[in-house]
Structure 1
Amino acid sequence: MSDVIKGKNVVIGENVSFGKNVIIGNNVVIYEGTKIGDNVVIQDNVVIGKQPTRAKASILPETKQLPPAVIGSGVTIGTSAIIYANAEIGDEVFIADLATIRERVTIGERTIVGRGVAIENDCKIGKYCKLETNCYITAYSELGDYVFIAPCVVTTNDNYMARSKERFGKFKGVTVKDGGRIGANATILPGKVIEEDGAVAAGSVVTKDVKSEEIVVGVPARTMKKVPKDQLLRYQE
């Protein structure tokens, strides 16, 4: 703990491990067994390693004690962010204020998780992604590398909208492959796939898979044109 600078009212559980040059703000709670790398900044009111709780009316099974959270080196965690147990955060990830990262989520190196972003359970987020303010990544989703999600994007995973027993076992998140981009306020329906370098225009509702290197627009979203060559991932510096 000699390399850790702590604020006031910090609560650290048993067997928490810290790397070098860790800075912890005020009123932070770090749960048992959490692993934190070098050069990590944890701002005020952050909670790391929280075990999930289950609503009485939830259809999900009871959750057993999950393994601790793992925070890579060079990570910044903003004020009042919550990172659940069994989350794995890669090196140099930036997590902004008020973000929530649920259990069994992995986030690749140098990804930015914006203010108020919610990443639900069992998601995989690649490296060098940018998830902007207040976007919502539904459970069981997968984002590749260099994915861009604009503010207030909504992804969904329940085609039955919480009705009928048929929905059980059929929840399916969205998939956005490498270089996929989604514009502000777009909605992506359950199970839809945005292929490599596919792009969704702002305000669109995606009801079908988006092909590689195509731009879709509208409600429902339809192909408008090809992504300009200079915007393709393979031509970026």
Structure 2
Amino acid sequence: MNNFVHPQAKLGQNVKIGHFSVIEAGAVIGDNVTIGNNVTVHAGTVIGSNVFVSDNCVLGRWPRPAKTSTVKVDQDLPPLVIGDGTTIGACSVLYRGSTFGTEVMIGDQASVREKCVIENNVVIGRGVSVENQVKIGAYTKIQTNAYITAYTTLEERVFIAPGVTTTNDNFMGRTKERFKFLRGPHVKRGARVGGGSILLPGVTVAEESFIAAGAVVHRDTEPAKLYVGVPAKVLRDVPEREKLENQD
């Protein structure tokens, strides 16, 4: 054998494990799971049934901040939980303390930090970075190289285009005062954020708002309005035919 499965790990039926992979103590893996080459499943990680894990992934990693970091590691973090039918792309890193629903798609080289809640049928694209304590609602799609900062909420059926940046710190780390105000954006149901847009700390993007590519959102938006520019301003209403309620 050229992989290691700890005797205290629990494997379901028809589990396939590639070369040079490690399954640590207490890991629980459901039925019909495929684990690629050189994958590490850390202690206690729970993987549902019919999950596909590509090569070189790290699942259930403990946070390890820099010595100068203000982030403190919670020693009581629960295990990583991955729901049934999820697909995890190559070289992805998913931290301990996060929970993934069913049928989630995670692209290659994505990273999801601790204490995140990702609901069913979410798509997290290639190279996306999701920081700690983020909530992502069902059927939300986040495309390639987007950055989702800590303490962000994306409600259900939100669309985040490639290269979107979210921010949470108006003080950029120089004062202790910043901790009282640290807050990521809240993007509400059905909102769409175009490529390369920037959402500033604490803004609320209202239901069905449409943020055009390259816009900088510095204030809360109104529902079902199209915003463009730097800073973002209302251009027009979102057409009725484009709203979620009018989709088949």
What TM-score does the superposition give when structure 1 sets the normalisation length? 0.98
C-alpha contact 1:108 1:125 (8 A) present in aligned 2: yes
Match of 2:4 in 1: none
CA contact (8 A) 2:191 2:209 kept: yes
What is the CA–CA distance in structure 2 between the aligned matches of 1:164 and 1:74, rounded to whole Å?
A: 44
Answer yes or no: is the 8 Å Cα contact 1:134–1:151 preserved in 2.
Answer: yes
Counterpart selection for 1:116 from 127, 136, 152? 127
Query: Counterpart of 1:75?
Result: 86
Task: Name which of 88, 93, 99 aligns with 2:99.
Answer: 88
1:181 matched to 2:230? The reply is: no
Does the CA contact (< 8 Å) of 1:70 and 1:89 recur in 2?
A: yes
Partner residue in 1 for 2:240: 229
Aligned pair partner of 1:220 in 224, 231, 234: 231
RMSD: 0.9
Match of 2:26 in 1: 15
Aligned counterpart in structure 2 of residue 205 of structure 1, from 204, 216, 237: 216
In the TM superposition, residue 18 of structure 1 has moved relative to its aligned partner by 1.3
Confirm or deny that 1:172 pairs with 2:170. Answer: no
Q: Which runs of 5+ in 1 are unaligned?
A: none
**CA offsets per residue over residues 155-205 of structure 1, 9 Å max, x none?**
000001112222123210000010011000000000000011011100000
Distance 1:62 1:140 in 2: 16
In structure 2, give the amino acid aligned to 1:43: S
For 1:218, the aligned partner's letter is G
Answer whether contact 1:51 1:65 (CA < 8 A) is retained: no
Unaligned runs of 5+ in 2: 1-10
Q: Partners of 1:95 and 1:79 in 2: how far apart?
A: 9
More displaced, 167-176 or 130-139? Answer: 167-176
Structure 2: distance between partners of 1:110 and 1:62: 29
Structure 1 equivalent of residue 58 of structure 2 = 47
Residue deviations 1:102-153, cap 9 Å, x none?
Answer: 1011111111100000110000000001100000000000011000000000
Distance 1:166 1:106 in 2: 27
TM-aligned CA deviation for residue 3 of structure 1: 1.9
Following superposition, which runs of at least 4 residues in structure 1 exceed 6 angstroms of deviation?
none
**Identity across the alignment (%):** 45
> Quick one: which amino acid aligns to residue 88 of structure 1?
T
Please state whether the residue corresponding to 2:177 is helix, strand or coil. Answer: helix
Q: Distance in 2 between the 1:168 and 1:92 partners?
A: 35
Contact 2:63/2:73 (8 A) holds in 1: no
Q: What is the CA–CA distance in structure 1 between the aligned matches of 2:229 and 2:218, rounded to whole Å?
A: 10
Give the deviation of 1:65 after TM superposition: 4.3
User: Contact 1:192–1:207 at 8 Å: present in 2 too?
Assistant: yes
Give the structure 1 partner of residue 206 of structure 2.
Answer: 195
Counterpart residue number, 2:155: 144
